[in-house]
Structure 1
């Protein structure tokens, strides 16, 4: 008889297990799928072998009420199993999986907006358990809500230690058998995915990468396909999962041709009935995958030139997540030694150009305990200011911040601004004007205008002054005299990395608050 929970909260995971055959290779020899039904709707869910003669089905219900299921299997003892369970209201804090919303943005299934503020710890689940606990503790004190993390261990400078687990079992010859996943490794990985979900953090799961000495990146096409299906069957029922097919897929192109990458996307689609987000990450800044393809939900970018965010939005027509705009740190490679202030600047620029940026920290350490690779502890300063940016944006989020069109030319090809509803935020970056009127309201309504110091994390009421008649036009020409573009201007202290926020009076939080 299956082990069942009689009730489950909406968007939590319902799991049922069955005893089945263990002889031969059940990973290859036995098929199992479940069909979960409510009223006229039926959802197919793939099952998987979890070792020791145990098979499992996992399901994430998206509707309250009574559900029933039946199984179909090539093994007689697994075929035709049935059961039912009740789905209750979602737990507080669980808003459901993240989806694309309003074309260029994200929201949870219940409509709650999701602003992606992610970080990277590639191989944190392969470190000693004490270090993994430290990573979770550190994350709990930040405002990050997404974590890039690989299934496989990583072999790369600063990250050469042996992993906690082999992801596949070893044969009698001591070699990894890529036809036999190691259930213990997958159980540990998914337990950490759940731990992140309990903290409100999305697990952006990197399925393949080229930095490998164990042979995972060299599995055959058939083994890759089975791996994708097995991983999806195990993890799709977790509400906080994102799929990232690869870190730097273009460095694997000599072994995995383009049609194979397309097929990986299709395998995920076929085995993930919940439609979790799907992306793929480039290595060469100019080697972006064709994110216009229907099976890609959002563009995942690696590029230091964050002012191109609007260009990528226009090219792909989808949300843009620049997960690697270089990292705060001091290691030798140039991608890992920008200042904290520069990374914060790139976050603000990306956000005000309608995209989402990712954090990484790469400060050298005598034991190579570097956040970007192994997690553990943060030693830099950017993460605090990134959390402040999240607070500022979430105070006014409605549908998603849309960039002020850079087709207007000057000054929007230099500074960055965005609007969401009746809120406008303008970020000056490296520029340090002493007065500003462009992009501000043209009518004489009542507004709250704040001056934001992005580094010192302060929000104070701005000083409002009459708009100058000789303020530059959108094309840069100065006309004297002429009617001002805006109803007022903002006086600024003349230093870089400031922003202003304008809200119609009574909208959002009071002036001076995030």
Structure 2
């Protein structure tokens, strides 16, 4: 049968019919299930109709209603053969009713099924489940959980983490455990066709093949069965998956309508997990060998705008949405208001990317519409034999202290999951970014130091901090990347990043009548070194003592 046009728009009618049946006492409960709040409950169904191509011929959804009257419309996904499933994450305890709706109303295995869901509160320690999924805070500048707990995004880049080069379970679990121990809480990971290759490159396979069948006609459910194991493990480990649909340059190859159907599948399959959506990677970047890059970029911008709007429409769990950019996320789509937060990419040119990183962050923070900003790609550690830990610290702090809501680290070798046995090798342009095995890249010091930086920021009410270049001399200047970056809360807190502390900077304009205590924090080792009371001169200025070693330092002043 053909797809019923506009099916995904009809949830209001479904809810009205549902309410009428319940109020009239006509319900026939066919399923009674139990679940835990903020965790995935999967409900499976078996079609009793025969379809030649169920992925393309059928759409199904479930409408869930809490006893308080709140409703959620959740799409279902094809599990292969006659099997379908709905994954729902109830956000609070209590009783829910649900009803299914299928585009083929004659299929009684998928359509018109009524059920009850009894949900108990989550009692564990995983912050993703304890505090609830992410949302944008009222200030439009930071993230918070559903219960209002602030969330500072500290991501790691596992673009090709669903491929078989990051083996399941041993390799995947080992890398996840390492990242949790270091303080990461997000993993950026691609669900579908990867960058730096074409869609049928063998390096893009997992243990069950490619994500799509030949010609992109439909998904390969077996591929996603394997992906399920990894996505679920990330969430259970406290690492929020930021799921990237595919790389942007596949839009002209696959086509907008097929990509929308694919995104419906992703939303149905993974939307119940605590995730963020990244619609695609490098949205307006044409394929490396394209003969028509300008035309492709324009078509991609239009197509990904439409896909983003579609995902916003169908995701009943209301997960946050963004797009990974060539520089600014808002420039990858025609309507930035469709995004919940902006991702940035600020360069891989070692020290030469530090000043552009600061400038890009500052610019993004001042643009309208206001939204949280995440520096989602910069200076992968070890790429091109450079961008080592000193550069990782510089890029992190000029981002964090200029107002970002989050930061994503990347290590060359991890993003492409290179292995000792099978080095990743060249990209389509014939050049290789480096073949460091992921097992070695996992141990690079910059990852630990950047993640410690996020833990450092979480010591403070970082969401209230604002940049204050007037507080320090020398203050940041493009011409000298070793000048200082200052942020804080007037009268309460000052944090100054000193990229090179040969001569400590002057802290300026200390408020009269406020007593500050100061300490140095070592961004290399994570240790603190007390200074004591701040004693400014008559002009309100103060020069701190020389720190224990000469390298970069964090200077913290807290009011008492």
Task: Name the TM-score, length of structure 1 as normaliser.
Answer: 0.83
Of the candidates 181, 192, 200, which is equivalent to residue 152 of structure 1?
192
SS of the residue 1:345 aligns to:
helix
Residue aligned with 1:346, SS: helix
Q: Taking structure 1 as reference, are residues 3 and 344 closer, same or farther at Cα in structure 2, changes over 3 Å only?
A: farther
Match of 1:228 in 2: 263
Aligned partners of 2:469 and 2:475 also within 8 Å: no
Q: Which residue of 1 aligns with 2:85?
A: 56
Preserved CA contact (<8 Å) 2:72 2:317: no
Which residue, out of 377, 396, 399, partners 1:347? 396
Separation in 1 of the partners of 2:141 and 2:189? 24
Tell me the equivalent position of 1:358.
Answer: 408
- Residues 235-250 of structure 1: matches in 2 within 5 Å? 235-239=270-274, 241-250=275-284
Partner-residue secondary structure (3-state), 1:58: strand
1:346 to partner: Cα distance = 0.9
2:484 maps to 415
What's the Cα RMSD here? 3.1
Distance (Å, rounded) in 2 between the aligned partners of 1:195 and 1:396: 30
- In 2, are the aligned partners of 1:178 and 1:219 still within 8 Å (CA)? yes
Structure 1 residue 349 displacement after superposition = 1.4
Report Cα offsets for 1:27-75 as digits up to 9, x if no partner: 1222211111123322211112111211111212123211101111124
> Kindly tell me: are residues 430 and 318 of structure 1, through their superposed partners in 2, closer, same or farther at Cα, counting changes over 3 Å?
farther
Residue 22 of structure 1 contacts residue 52 of structure 1 at CA under 8 Å; is this kept in 2? no
The Cα of 1:311 is off from its aligned counterpart by 1.5
Q: Against the structure 1 CA distance between its residues 365 and 180, is the aligned structure 2 distance closer, same or farther, given a 3 Å change threshold? A: closer
Contact kept, 8 Å, 1:404 with 1:412, in 2: the verdict is no
Q: Does residue 97 of the first structure (1) align with residue 150 of the second (2)?
A: no
TM-score of the pair, normalised by structure 2: 0.77
- Measure how far apart 1:458 and its partner are: 1.8
Does the alignment pair 1:143 with 2:212? no
Look up the SS of the partner of 2:332 in the other structure: coil
- Report deviation, 1:196: 0.7
1:160-309 paired onto structure 2 within 5 Å? 161=203, 163-164=205-206, 165-168=208-211, 170=213, 176-209=214-247, 218-239=253-274, 241-252=275-286, 254=296, 256-283=299-326, 288-289=331-332, 293-303=336-346, 304=353, 305-308=356-359, 309=361
- The CA distance in 1 between the partners of 2:231 and 2:558, in whole Å, is 38
Distance 1:375 1:401, change over 3 A: farther
Question: Which of 145, 148, 166 does residue 108 from structure 1 map onto?
Answer: 145
Structure 2 unaligned blocks of 5 or more: 1-27, 287-294, 347-352, 425-432, 478-482
Change (3 A) 1:365 1:47: closer
Native 8 Å contact 1:210 1:248 kept in 2: yes
Q: Secondary structure at the match of 1:281?
A: coil
1:328 aligns with 2:381: yes
Number of aligned residues: 475
Aligned-partner Cα distance in 1 for 2:438–2:271: 24
Q: How does 1:495-514 map to 2 (within 5 A)?
A: 495-505=550-560
What's the counterpart of residue 511 of structure 1? none
Contact between 1:425 and 1:501, CA under 8 Å: does it hold in 2?
A: yes
**1:123 corresponds to 2:157:** no
Alpha-carbon contact 1:327-1:360 (below 8 Å) kept? yes
In the TM superposition, residue 456 of structure 1 has moved relative to its aligned partner by 3.0
Q: Which has the higher contact order (CA 8 A, sep 6+)?
A: 1
Corresponding residue for 2:116?
84
Q: Secondary structure at the match of 1:250?
A: coil
Structure 1 range deviating more: 81-90 or 419-428: 419-428
Q: Deviations over 1:282-323 (max 9, x none)?
A: 226799435972211111111132212122100242211111
Partner deviation per Cα, 1:443-501 (whole Å, 9 max, x = no partner): 33343311112123221112556324xxxxxxxxxxxxxx4135x55323384411111
Deviation track 1:81-113 (CA, whole Å, cap 9, x = no partner) reads 001112222343221111222321111111111
Are residues 1:424 and 2:494 paired?
A: yes
User: Structure 1 stretch 32-41 or stretch 489-498: which is displaced more?
Assistant: 489-498
* Equivalent pair of 2:44/2:83 in contact (CA under 8 Å): yes
Rounded to whole Å, the distance in 1 between the matches of 2:494 and 2:471 is 18
Matched, 1:7 2:50: no
Distance in 2 (alpha carbons) for counterparts of 1:47 and 1:82: 15
What residue ranges of structure 1 are gaps of 5+ in the alignment?
171-175, 469-482, 506-514
- 1:312 equivalent in alignment to 2:356: no
Q: Contact 1:35 / 1:71 at 8 angstroms: preserved in 2?
A: yes
Instruction: Provide the residue aligned with 2:23 in structure 1.
Output: none
Which of 38, 46, 49 in structure 2 is aligned with 1:19? 46
Distance 1:223 1:54 in 2: 21
For the residue of structure 2 that corresponds to 1:44, the secondary structure is strand
User: Could you tell me how far apart the structure 1 residues matched to 2:321 and 2:189 are?
Assistant: 14
Q: CA deviation at 1:133?
A: 3.6
Q: 1:295 & 1:436 partners in 2: Cα distance?
A: 43
